[in-house]
Structure 1
Amino acid sequence: MDLASPIRQPAPPRWIPFGETVSIRGQEIAGGGFYLGTPRNYQDSRLAAVDPTLAFSGQADWRGEGLGYWPRYAGLNDRERGTFLAFLNSERRAATVGIGYVFLYFYGLEYRLLRGLAAGEEGRTEGLRILSEVARLQQHYGSHGSFGSYSQKFLAVGRFKLGVPGDVTDNDWSLAQHIKAAQMVMRHQALSADLAFAWAQALTDEARSTTWDVVRPEIKTRFGQLYAQRFGQGLIIKPGRSKLTLSYRWAGPEVGTETIQTDLPDITRSQAPMRPLIALVQQAMGELEALRRVRRSKNGTPMAELAAMPEPLRGNQVPPTFRALVSDLDAALAQQTVAVMATSRLTQGCGMGAPERLGKREATSLIQALEALGFAIEPDVRFHGPSPTPDGHVVVFRLPNQAARTPSAAYAAALLMLQAALAVAGQGSEINQSELDVAVAAIERQFALPESEQRRIEAHLRWLQLNPVTLARLENRVRLLPASEREAFAGVLLEIAAADGHVSPAEIRVIERFYRALELDPARVPADLHHASVGGRPKTAAGGGLNADVIAQKLAETGRVQSVLAQIFNEAESAATAEISSPTPSVTPASVSAAPVEGPSDSIPGLDDEHMALLERVLEVAGDQWSRADFEAACDALGLLPDGAAEMLNEAAFSLAGEPLLEGDDPLYMNDYVRDQLAQTLSDQKKLRL
C-alpha cells in the first residue's frame, strides 16, 4: 500500500529533538534525532533533512544497494525513502539494514553537533545525547570499515568540543589518542603505557605491518613491561610552543574538512622525546620475532609456540595442552630435587608423539618448551650434553627463577671434572656415595657456579650414573686442559679416589689413564694417592687450585676452529695448537702417549687416514640412515672394527659440534646437523689451501 499523500505548505528544515514524534505524510515517526523540512537553499541542502514533500512507499528495500556512497534523501527512490523512515521509526539497530541508511542518519547527527547546537548548557546536554547515540551506532555498525572510521573520529572531535574525557583503548594511533596524549602533555602528566605504545607504534614503520598482527597483543603487553621498567609511572614530555590544529573530514556530502584550532601542544612537531619509546617497541618486536614465525608457519605447534614465548610473558597459567605433563612432573619432583623420567613421556606430553630420533633442533625445541613450563632436563644439548634418546630416560628438575639459558664460562670445566670424578668413583664394585659427595664438594669449591647450574650439575650427576661417559671420550677432553691446570686436575681426582679410605685396583688403572692423558708420569700414582690419603695434595705447577676461566676457554676451542685457524698462523703456532687441541686417535692405555697418526691435508682432529676415509663415505650417503650391513662392509674394506670406528667418529664429532654423528644400531641414524658441520669444516680447509 502506498502511504504517500500531498501536503500544502512546505516548511524549512528544523531539528527534531530526541524523543519527539512527528507525522510525515500521515506516517508517525517516533524517536527524533534528525532534520525534517524542505531545503530552500544550498545551505539547507547540507542538513541531510527528511523532505516531507517527497513521496515514499511501504515496500521496503532493506539492503539499499542502490544508495551510492553519499546518499541524499532527495536522491532516493520511493522504496528507499520508505525504508529509511522505517529505520528511523525502529530501534535503529537492525543488522540487516544497508549501511547507506545508517550513514544518512549519521549525517544529520554530525551536522547538528558540529554546526547546529545552541549555546549554553542546553546545547551541551543535546550534544552529549548525540555522542551517546553515535557511540551506540558504533557498537552495532562499527565493524563496517568506513562507518567505524568516520564515527570514531566524530566521537573524538565531539568529545573534545564538549570537554568530555573519552575512553582510549585502541592499539592504532587515532585522533582520540592524539587528543588525549596532547592533553596529558599540556598538563605535565605521565603518558599511560597504552598511549605511549600506540604513539610509538605509529612512528615505527615495521610495527605497522600487518605481518605483526599475529603477535600484536603480546607486543603491547611486553612494551608495557619494558615501559614500566624504564619510566616507572610513565614518561612526562615537556610541551612545545606549537599548537595542535585538528582536521576533521566530514562524512556528509559537500561539506569538506572542518579545521578546529586548539590550545593543546602539537606533540607531533618533535620526535626526539619519542625515540626511547620507539626503541622499546623495537625491542619488544625483537623478542617476539620467534613467536611471530611460529604463528605464521603452517607447521606451528603448541610446543613450538610455548617455546617461542618470551619468558616475561609466560606467566603462571599452564596451557591446557601441557597440564597433564606438568601434573606428572610436579608429582615426580614432590619429594626430591631431581627425578628420572622416560623421554617418551616428555615428547608425548609436548605433542611430539613418538619420534624415532631427536636431533639437536628437536631436542632444543623440547627443552625450550619445558623451560617455559618451569622445568629443565639433563642432558641438555645447549649445556654440552648429547640429545636425549627417544626410548631412553632423562633427569628432570625444577628450573630456578632467572636461570641462564646458556652455560657459564666455568660450567664446561665443572662438567668435565664431574664426568672424570664419576669415572674414578665408578670403578669399584659400586659407586661410593662418599666419593660422589667429595666430587660435588670439589666442584662447588673450585667453580663458583650459579644456583641453576649447581642444580643442573646434580641432575647431570644422576644422569651419568645411568649413562656413564666412555673413558676414551674423557681422555680426549682432558687433553684439552692447559699444562698449568693438569696437576690441579689430577689432585682433585686423587682426593675423590681416596675419599672412602680405599682405592681399588680398577680405580688406580683409571687414574693412570688420566695421568697419561694429562701427560703426567703414571708411575707417580701410588705415591700421589698415599699423599692424598693422609690429607695432602700433589704439588701443582701453578701452586694453586684449578683456574675455571682458563679451563673453560680452552674447552671452548672446538676442533673446527683449531683445524681452520691452524693453517693461518705460522708453523710453530700451528704445531703448538695441534698438540693441545687434537685428541689422539687411540683409546687404549698402551697408546695414550703414542704420537698421533699423520692425517691427510683435509682432516678432522682425532681421525687418521682410515677413519677420515670412513667419514668421507658417511658424508656421501644419501638420506639420514645407513644399514648396519653397509656400514660394516665399509669398515671391513678399511680394516676397521665397526664399533670402534663408530666411537672414533662420534668422538671427533662431539669435539667439533657437541653431538655424536652416528646413533642407533641397525640402521645407523646420521645427525644432519653434525654432518653439515663436518662437511663445512672440510670445505673451509679446501678454501684456505686455494
Structure 2
Amino acid sequence: MEIIIGLIIFYVIYQFIKGFSGKGKATDKNEVTLRVEVSGPGDYSSSYNRSSRPGGPPAKWYGPSMSVKVKDYDIPGGLVYVGSNLPDNYGYENDACLIDPSLKVSAAEPWEAGDQMGYWPKFHNIPAKSRGAYLKWLVGGRSEPEAYIGYVFLFFYGLERRLIVDGAKGKVSSQERSAIVNEVRRLLKIYGGNRSFSGYANNFLAMEWALYQSDNPAPSYIDFDDRYCTEPFQLVLAKHVADGKPIPADMALQWYRLNPNMSLRTPARRCAKEFKYLFTRRYQTKFGEGIIVKPNKTRLKIDYRAASPSIRGDMKLKVPDLPNPFILTGPINKINEIIDECTQELDPYSRFLGRKGSDPKSLTALSLIPKELIAQSSGAKTIRDRLSRICQDGIGFLPLETLYKTIGQKPPVKLLKKELESLASFIDSMGYGIAPDIRYHNMKPTIDGSVTVFPKGHGMDFMPSKEFRTVATILRLGAMVSQIDKDLAPEEETILQSLISDNRELTSIEKDSLTAFLHWCIHTPQNAVGLKSRLSEVSETEKSAISHILITVAHADGEIKPEEIKQLEKLYTTLGLDKEQVTGDIHALAANSGPVTVGLKDEDASYAIPQPAKPLGTSMGFVLNEELIRIRKEETKQVKSVLEDIFAEQEEKEAEEPLAGATVSSNPLSLLDTAHQRLFNSLLEKETWERAAFQETCKSLGLMVDGAMEVLNEWAFENANAPLIDDGEPIYVDVSLAKEIVDVQ
C-alpha cells in the first residue's frame, strides 16, 4: 500500500513539474518564442502576492472594428483587453493593460490625475480618478493632444501584448497586425513629441516588421536611426551581410549610431542634416557602393525591449539563422575614420550655431559650412545663375550692396574683416571669386563701393605666392598713377595687364585673380593713405625702384601731362624722395635710347619683357618689366617685402567674441560652485547619459537637473561660445568641448 501511495505522489509531482516547464511554449515553431528573465530594475516578482492571482473567466480582446462598454463609457475602435483575468508574463497578477470593469472609476478629463500614477502604470492599481481619465481618453478616440502620456502608454501596453504574446501563439492575423501598426503610427503623429513614447513606438513598429515581414524591404516609417530600434536593425544588417551585399552609406551610419560603444559628437548631432550629407559623400568616395563585410560565426539573437511592465524583461525572439555582424569592430573602425573627418569639418559651423542669437542662414554661418555642402543648399543654383549673368562678359563689376542682394543677404552696417572673409568664402563656394579679396589682395572695398566678380574663383586651397602679392601691389601703384589725369589710356591698362599675362611665375588662378583685381583698381579711385609711414625705413634703392614703376606707368601713353607731374611729385615726397627728381627721371627716360639701369647688374630675369601696345617713341628708355628684370635676386626679396607691405590695411580692433572659442582664465572651473564642479568632472566620464543616471548624479550633489544643465551651459558659453549639454533622451555631453575649456588631454 505504501508503495502504491508513493507512486501516486511521484506521478503527481512529475505532472506538476512537466506542466510548469511547458508554460509559455509557442504553438508554432516558426513563430516568435519568448524566454523571460527579469532582474535589476525590472524585477517585479518580489512584490507579487501569489495569493492574488487573477481568477474568473479569461479576459477578452476587442479587435479594431469592435466597441465595448465599461461602466458608463462606450469605447469605440476596440484594440483593448477587457475582463478580470489576464495574467501577466509572470502569472501572479493581471496584465497592466487589462481594463477591469469591476474596479472603481471616478470621472476625470484625459489631462487630469496623471501625477497620481506611477512610472509603469497598471490599470488595476492606479487611482479611480486616473482610471476615469483613461477611459475618457479612450472614448474620445484616443486623440486628445493634451492627454497625460501615461494614459497613452496604458493603451500601448495592450498593443504590445497582442502583437508579442498573442502573436507568438498565432492568434493575430495579418489584417489585425496592419490595423495595430496604423494605430501606433497615428498615435506617433499626436504624441511623438514625447521622447520615451516615440522610442518605444518606433521600436514596436520595427519589431513588427522584423518578426512578420522581414522578407520584404523595411517600410519607410521605420526609423532605424533611433537607438530604440537597435534590435530590429541587427536583423536588417545580418540579412545584408548574409547576402554578400555592400553596406550602403545610410546603413553604415545607422550601424555606427546604434553601436553601444560609439557616440556621435556635438557637431554631428547639432548639424545632423549637413553631417549626413557630408558623411555619405565621403563614404562613397572611399568605399564606392559600400564596405563588404564577411559573415562571422556568431549567430544572431535579438530581444524585444517592451514598454509594458507586464512583459518587460529579457525576451528572446526566434529569428532566422543568420550571422551577427553588428558586434564586429573592424567595419565600425573604418566607418569611425570618416565620422571623425566629417565631425572636424563641421566643428566651426557647429560652434557658431551653438552661440546665442546665431543665424544659421547668415553669411557667416554659410561661410563656415564645407563648400561642397553650400553648393548643394537650397537657392545655390539661383545664386550661381545670377553670378553667371554678372560675369557673362568675363569679369563683372558691380556695387558691393548689389552683390549682397544677389546672394540674398543684407549688407552689414560696418565692413569688418570677418564679414568680408565670409563674403569671399561664400562666393568661392559658388564657383566664383571677388576682387579685392581681403584674404589675398591686401585690400578691402568700402560699403558704398564696388567689387569685381570673376568665374572659377580661387578654389578651395588657394595659397597666394609672394610673386602674386608683389604684382598686386605694383598694379595698385600703377592704377594710382594712371588715375592722375582722370583719363585712363588704353596703353596704361595694357602695360599693367602685361605684368600679369607675361609673368611666368604666376599660376593661371593667380593670373585670373590679379586680372580681376586690376579691373577693380583702375575703375576704383586709389589713394596713398598710409604710404608715408610704411615707407619711412625703405632703402634708397628700393625707393628708386618704386619711383621708376610710377614714372613708367605715367609715360605708358607716350605723354606725361602737367597734372601727372604734379601728382608724381606728391608721390615722390611720400616716398621720401626729392620732388625735383621727378623731372630728372622723366628726362632720363626720354633721353636714353637703351634700357635705364637701376644700378644693379645681375640680369636674373624673373619677368618676361612685354611688348608695348604701340610704340612709345624712340625717346622712351625703359619699360616697367625691364626695370624689374634688373633687380638682383637677393635684393628682390627685400623690394618685394616692401611692395607687399606698403598698402597693408590697418585692421580695426574688433571687440567681438572669437568664433572657434574664447580665451579662458587659467582656472575656468573656479567660476562654478563646488557642486557644479563635481558634476562637471562626473560628466567627463562619457558622452551619452541615460536621463535616470544623469538625474541620480545631480540628486547626489543636491542639484536639480534642469537648473544644473542651465548653469553648465551658461558657463560653457562664457568660456567657449558653445553649449556643453544637449538635453534629450539620452542626454549628450560635449566631452571634447569640456576638455578644451579646462585644457585636459
TM-score of Structure 1 vs Structure 2, range by shorter chain:
0.5 to 0.7
Q: Kindly report which structure 2 residues correspond to 1:178-193, keeping only aligned pairs within 5 A, or say none.
A: 178-193=234-249
**Structure 1's 55 and 672: CA in aligned 2 closer, same or farther, altered over 3 A?**
closer
Q: Deviation per CA, 1:289-340, whole angstroms, max 9, x where unpaired? A: 22222222235352322322322122376779x99x9999788656662315
Unaligned 5+ segments in structure 1 are 1-8, 549-575, 585-604, 607-650, 662-668, 674-690
Task: Measure how far apart 1:54 and its partner are.
Answer: 1.0
1:382 is paired with a residue of what secondary structure? coil
> Which residue is 1:38 aligned to?
84
1:659 to 2:649 alignment: yes
Task: Measure how far apart 1:162 and its partner are.
Answer: 0.8
Task: Measure how far apart 1:242 and its partner are.
Answer: 1.6
Q: Deviation per CA, 1:568-601, whole angstroms, max 9, x where unpaired? A: xxxxxxxx999776679xxxxxxxxxxxxxxxxx
Q: Deviation per CA, 1:483-524, whole angstroms, max 9, x where unpaired? A: 9xx99x9999999788756688979x989999x9xxxx9899
Tell me the distance in 2 between the aligned counterparts of 1:64 and 1:387. 66
**Structure 1's 440 and 171: CA in aligned 2 closer, same or farther, altered over 3 A?**
farther
Q: Kindly report which structure 2 residues correspond to 1:519-538, keeping only aligned pairs within 5 A, or say none.
A: 526=589, 530-531=593-594
> Which residue is 1:309 aligned to?
369
**Structure 1's 150 and 299: CA in aligned 2 closer, same or farther, altered over 3 A?**
closer
Tell me the distance in 2 between the aligned counterparts of 1:498 and 1:101. 91
1:382 to 2:445 alignment: no
Q: Which amino acid aligns with 1:162?
A: Y
1:198 to 2:250 alignment: no
Contact 1:127–1:162 under 8 Å retained in 2: no
Contact 2:113–2:129 under 8 Å retained in 1: no
Tell me the distance in 1 between the aligned counterparts of 2:450 and 2:533. 21
> Which residue is 2:516 aligned to?
459
2:235 is paired with a residue of what secondary structure? helix
Q: Kindly report which structure 2 residues correspond to 1:215-234, keeping only aligned pairs within 5 A, or say none.
A: 215-234=271-290
Task: Measure how far apart 1:90 and its partner are.
Answer: 4.4
Q: Deviation per CA, 1:27-64, whole angstroms, max 9, x where unpaired? A: 65443323333228652735446465514447234224
More contact order relative to length (CA 8 Å, sep ≥ 6):
2
Contact 1:20–1:30 under 8 Å retained in 2: yes
**Structure 1's 60 and 343: CA in aligned 2 closer, same or farther, altered over 3 A?**
closer
**Structure 1's 202 and 541: CA in aligned 2 closer, same or farther, altered over 3 A?**
farther
Contact 1:10–1:53 under 8 Å retained in 2: no
**Structure 1's 379 and 64: CA in aligned 2 closer, same or farther, altered over 3 A?**
same
Task: Measure how far apart 1:153 and its partner are.
Answer: 1.9
Contact 2:100–2:124 under 8 Å retained in 1: no
> Which residue is 2:298 aligned to?
242
Contact 2:363–2:422 under 8 Å retained in 1: yes
Q: Which amino acid aligns with 1:339?
A: F
**Structure 1's 210 and 178: CA in aligned 2 closer, same or farther, altered over 3 A?**
farther
> Which residue is 1:13 aligned to?
59
Tell me the distance in 2 between the aligned counterparts of 1:209 and 1:47. 41
**Structure 1's 237 and 429: CA in aligned 2 closer, same or farther, altered over 3 A?**
same
**Structure 1's 376 and 459: CA in aligned 2 closer, same or farther, altered over 3 A?**
same
> Which residue is 1:596 aligned to?
none
**Structure 1's 83 and 390: CA in aligned 2 closer, same or farther, altered over 3 A?**
closer
Match among 180, 189, 201 for residue 130 of structure 1 = 180
**Structure 1's 74 and 656: CA in aligned 2 closer, same or farther, altered over 3 A?**
farther
**Structure 1's 528 and 259: CA in aligned 2 closer, same or farther, altered over 3 A?**
farther
Tell me the distance in 2 between the aligned counterparts of 1:672 and 1:657. 24
Task: Measure how far apart 1:241 and its partner are.
Answer: 1.9
**Structure 1's 233 and 531: CA in aligned 2 closer, same or farther, altered over 3 A?**
farther
**Structure 1's 211 and 291: CA in aligned 2 closer, same or farther, altered over 3 A?**
closer
Tell me the distance in 1 between the aligned counterparts of 2:204 and 2:604. 81
Q: Kindly report which structure 2 residues correspond to 1:429-448, keeping only aligned pairs within 5 A, or say none.
A: 430-447=487-504
Q: Deviation per CA, 1:151-191, whole angstroms, max 9, x where unpaired? A: 22222222211134243445444424443333322222233
**Relative to structure 2, which stretch is displaced further, 490-499 or 399-408?**
490-499
**Structure 1's 270 and 131: CA in aligned 2 closer, same or farther, altered over 3 A?**
same
> Which residue is 1:281 aligned to?
339
Unaligned 5+ segments in structure 2 are 1-54, 578-583, 610-631, 657-745
Tell me the distance in 2 between the aligned counterparts of 1:254 and 1:670. 66
Task: Measure how far apart 1:362 and its partner are.
Answer: 4.1
2:502 is paired with a residue of what secondary structure? helix
> Which residue is 2:668 aligned to?
none
> Which residue is 1:296 aligned to?
354
Q: Deviation per CA, 1:79-132, whole angstroms, max 9, x where unpaired? A: 444444444444222223322222222222212222212666964444344333
Task: Measure how far apart 1:383 and its partner are.
Answer: 0.8
**Structure 1's 140 and 343: CA in aligned 2 closer, same or farther, altered over 3 A?**
closer
Q: Which amino acid aligns with 1:454?
A: K
**Structure 1's 22 and 455: CA in aligned 2 closer, same or farther, altered over 3 A?**
same
Tell me the distance in 1 between the aligned counterparts of 2:555 and 2:291. 64
**Structure 1's 671 and 59: CA in aligned 2 closer, same or farther, altered over 3 A?**
closer
Tell me the distance in 2 between the aligned counterparts of 1:530 and 1:46. 114
**Structure 1's 468 and 67: CA in aligned 2 closer, same or farther, altered over 3 A?**
closer
Task: Measure how far apart 1:192 and its partner are.
Answer: 3.3
Tell me the distance in 2 between the aligned counterparts of 1:435 and 1:526. 16
Match among 82, 105, 108 for residue 60 of structure 1 = 108
**Structure 1's 120 and 657: CA in aligned 2 closer, same or farther, altered over 3 A?**
farther
1:142 to 2:192 alignment: yes
Contact 2:375–2:429 under 8 Å retained in 1: no
**Structure 1's 415 and 249: CA in aligned 2 closer, same or farther, altered over 3 A?**
same
Query: For the aligned residues, what is the CA RMSD?
Result: 5.3
Q: Which amino acid aligns with 2:443?
A: P
**Structure 1's 475 and 418: CA in aligned 2 closer, same or farther, altered over 3 A?**
farther
> Which residue is 1:636 aligned to?
none
Match among 142, 149, 154 for residue 92 of structure 1 = 142
Contact 1:57–1:82 under 8 Å retained in 2: yes
Contact 1:418–1:443 under 8 Å retained in 2: no
Contact 2:375–2:430 under 8 Å retained in 1: no
Tell me the distance in 2 between the aligned counterparts of 1:200 and 1:395. 47
Q: Kindly report which structure 2 residues correspond to 1:626-665, keeping only aligned pairs within 5 A, or say none.
A: 655=645, 658-660=648-650
Identity %: 22
**Relative to structure 2, which stretch is displaced further, 377-386 or 465-474?**
465-474
Tell me the distance in 1 between the aligned counterparts of 2:240 and 2:547. 69
Contact 2:86–2:98 under 8 Å retained in 1: no
**Structure 1's 170 and 303: CA in aligned 2 closer, same or farther, altered over 3 A?**
farther
Instruction: Say how many residue pairs are matched.
Output: 550
Relative to the length of structure 2, the TM-score reads: 0.60
Tell me the distance in 1 between the aligned counterparts of 2:496 and 2:647. 27
**Structure 1's 437 and 477: CA in aligned 2 closer, same or farther, altered over 3 A?**
farther
Tell me the distance in 2 between the aligned counterparts of 1:363 and 1:231. 38
